Amino acid sequence: MSDQQESVNTDNAGEVSAAAAGWGAVFVTTATTVFLAELGDKTQLAALLLSAQSGQPLVVFAGASLALICSSLVGVVLGRWLARLLAPELLERLAGILMVVLGLWLGRQAILTLPNFS
């Protein structure tokens, strides 16, 4: 495995390549993942229902945006808190397993709701 790590930045002891990734790279990765996962999700359904009933879509949009910003802030703070509690290797392994499970579940949902499969 060590020969494959030549291209990976390992000069900082304990710092792995992805943790040392630039601000822009982290921003783009997070934004893309979250945007794709969130499109057509229940948040939008709730927002659409409220805007249809109230006739004030701007207010609904403002409320929904504030809630989404707060929820992502909660997620970030929770992640930093876990990072202080757990060893990096353990956290990475747990997080990796969680992401794989979420990916499988999300993929299964997407495939099951394809028009051809219903």
Q: Of 117, 106, 108, 116, whose CA–CA distance to 39 is shortest? A: 106
74 contributes a contact to other proteins by CB under 8 A: yes
Residue from 3, 7, 9, 14 that binds other proteins (CB under 8 A)?
14
Q: Of 31, 33, 71, 63, whose CA–CA distance to 46 is shortest? A: 63
82 contributes a contact to other proteins by CB under 8 A: yes
d(CA 107, CA 73): 26
Q: Which residue has the tokens 């630039």?
A: 22
Residue count, binding to other proteins (CB under 8 A): 87
69 contributes a contact to other proteins by CB under 8 A: yes
What is the torsional sign of CA 51, 60, 39, 110? negative
Give Rg (Cα) of the chain: 19
30 contributes a contact to other proteins by CB under 8 A: yes
d(CA 46, CA 34): 18
User: How far apart are CB 62 and other proteins at their closest, in Å?
Assistant: 6
65 contributes a contact to other proteins by CB under 8 A: yes
User: How far apart are CB 108 and other proteins at their closest, in Å?
Assistant: 8
Residue from 6, 7, 11, 39 that binds other proteins (CB under 8 A)?
39
User: How far apart are CB 11 and other proteins at their closest, in Å?
Assistant: 14
